Structure 1
Amino acid sequence: MIGIRDIREWRMQTVVDSAGRKIGTLEAIYVDTATDQPSMATVQIGLPGRRRLVFVPLDGATVGPGYVKVAYRKSQVKSGPAIGTDDILPAENEAAIFQHYDLPYTPGAGGERRLARP
């Protein structure tokens, strides 16, 4: 697993898919509130004036000189749930992100969020 200190250094670096195709630019990291470990990244995609942030899991991610390689296909990442570049992730939309990647989603016992920005 990539440590939170390591991945913070890669903000604004290129994110590539499992085949090395450019997806976009790493914008932020979200940690799993149950473990405090990096869980998801937002990737800025789109043309100027039409940019948005898509979520991609960091499980299986690797870093290289100037890039972060994720374990998912570009098409899957780009078709996933997104938010505007100035928006925040609504709690009710978290489950859809996990579902998009066929990952289990369980909120906290009291309904707490699963993802948070450190």
Structure 2
Amino acid sequence: MIRSADIREWRDQDVVDPKQRKIGMLEAVYVDTATDEPAVATVRTGLPTRRRLIFVPLDDAVVGPGYVKVSYARGHVRKAPSIGTDDVLPAEQEEEIFQHYGMTYRPGAAGERRLARR
């Protein structure tokens, strides 16, 4: 797993899929609030006038020179939940991200958020 301190260095680097196809640029990292480990990244995609941030899990991510390779195909990532470049992730949208990638969503014991931006 990529450590929090390491992943921050890769902001604005290319995010690629397992076949090295570019998905977009790494914008931000969200950590799992239970473990404080990197869990999800936002990837900046789109045309300059129509940019959006797409969410992609960082499980099994690999960092290389100038890129972060995620374990999901570009087409699958581009269909993932997204937000505008100036927006914040609404708490009610967290579960949708996990469902898109076939992952189990478990909010905190008191119902708190599962993801926090770093």
Residue 18 (structure 1) shift: 1.0
Mind listing any 5+ residue stretches in structure 1 that lack a counterpart? Answer: none
Quote the residue 2:101 is aligned against.
101
Quote the residue 1:16 is aligned against.
16
- TM-score, normalising length: structure 1: 0.99
Quote the residue 1:117 is aligned against.
117
Query: Partner of 1:18: helix, strand, or coil?
Result: coil
Q: What is the CA deviation profile of residues 47-103 of structure 1, one whole-angstrom value per residue up to 9, with x for unaligned ones?
A: 011000000000000011000000000001000000000000000000000000000
Instruction: Give the AA of the match of 1:76.
Output: H
- State the alpha-carbon separation in 1 of the partners of residues 106 and 65 from structure 2: 35
Query: Counterparts of 1:32-111 in structure 2 under 5 Å?
Result: 32-111=32-111
Mind listing any 5+ residue stretches in structure 2 that lack a counterpart? Answer: none
- State the alpha-carbon separation in 2 of the partners of residues 68 and 109 from structure 1: 32
**Cα RMSD, aligned residues only:** 0.4
Q: Are 1:5 and 2:5 counterparts?
A: yes
- State the alpha-carbon separation in 2 of the partners of residues 117 and 46 from structure 1: 21
- TM-score, normalising length: structure 2: 0.99
Residue 109 (structure 1) shift: 1.1
- State the alpha-carbon separation in 2 of the partners of residues 110 and 72 from structure 1: 31
Identity of aligned residues (%): 68
- State the alpha-carbon separation in 1 of the partners of residues 66 and 6 from structure 2: 13
